[in-house]
Homo-oligomer: A and B are copies of this chain.
Amino acid sequence: LRPLRWDRERHVLTILDQTLLPFEVYWVEAKDPSQIAEAIKSMRVRGAPAIGIAAAYGMVTALNSPTNDIKESLNALAKAKLQLDAARPTAVNLSWATSRMLSKANRLVHEGEAKKVDELKELLEEEANRVYEEELEAELKIGIYGFEKLNDGDVVLTQCNAGGLATGTGLGTALAPVKLARALGVNVSVVAPETRPWLQGSRLTAYELMTDGVPVTLISDTAVGLVLYKKMVNSVMVGADRILADGHVFNKVGTFKEAVIAHELGVPFYALAPTSTLDLRSSVEEVKIEERSPDEVRTVRGVPVAPEGVKVYNPVFDVTPPKYVTAIITEAGIIYPPFEKNVRKIANM
């Protein structure tokens, strides 16, 4: 289920609107940077890698307006970068992708590789394709390494949506091994907790896996403990938003409970993420856990579920100490404890 599709003829990005899933399957066409910025801002595209890919193609669409002046094109690209970066200022992948595209364009023009606007456009399109392909390659490698941990008949517990909807490629990180296993004829399935308050588990993961033909069972977040207790799953595979040098894993709230219970019951717990997620500088105390609006807990899809004005604590992430992490699976290899030594080894490769 690939939520971003680039039309090579018309130079248009087609985007699966994730705000409406799974209730409506609606594709939006974006043909200029402002339309792509809007799609990012309104969360039709979500997930760090997906935002990066969308922004890279967004830069290409800046050259859709007809001009023969190469300087004018570079100006249009600089303007597009500002516009795209402003869509979600905290998304690191966004400015990373637009900077990469803009530098590439400047280099191509100044080094004389692109003399005409058409040449520049074609070479930038190739660069955007590379952004996409590098992401997909990393996920394929994560999938191959994670596949080592799966046996025929295994059931995997996940959390949130670390799938192809979040990465834009259609494959994903935490879901890459099970998808790869299915593609290779190995019989594996997934248990997805709904992941309140945003319900990425029920809205996105369940939908993505059903679409991709991977058997999935949806549970409420309260049932995670019983599912592990009853040995209904063989391993836990989750994504990660940030992994520290000592092996602390920051991921969607609810991950920590899965890790502790899995550890207690002898079920392996894996965090699957690209090496770009490794943060070798911060200590666990330095990482702030973002809190979001109380209304996300007070309501579900706009419907009230709690007394008006009730006090709410609504953290976005939680942190899993290294003690509970069996291994970290990256595109550069599997990192085992002791993490304080082995995370740096992989990061410096």
Q: Which residues of A contact B (CB under 8 A)?
A: 22-23, 191, 193-197, 199, 202-203, 206-207, 210, 215-227, 229, 232, 252-257, 260-261, 264, 289, 297-298, 300-308, 310-315, 318-319
Contacts and interface: CB of A to CB of B under 8 A. Distances in A.
Contacts of A220: 196-197, 221, 253-254, 297, 314
9 contacts: A195-B222, A196-B222, A218-B298, A223-B254, A225-B254, A260-B264, A264-B264, A300-B305, A302-B303
Given A218-B312, A253-B220, A22 B203 contact: no
Interface centre among A202, A217, A297, A303 (most CB of B within 10 A): A202
Contacts of A193: 222
B305 A227 contact: no
Interface centre among A216, A227, A305 (most CB of B within 10 A): A305
A171 to B, nearest CB: 20
Given A206-B310, A301-B300, A257 B219 contact: no
A223 B260 contact: no
A262 to B, nearest CB: 10
Nearest to A300: B300
Given A194-B196, A261-B261, A222 B310 contact: no
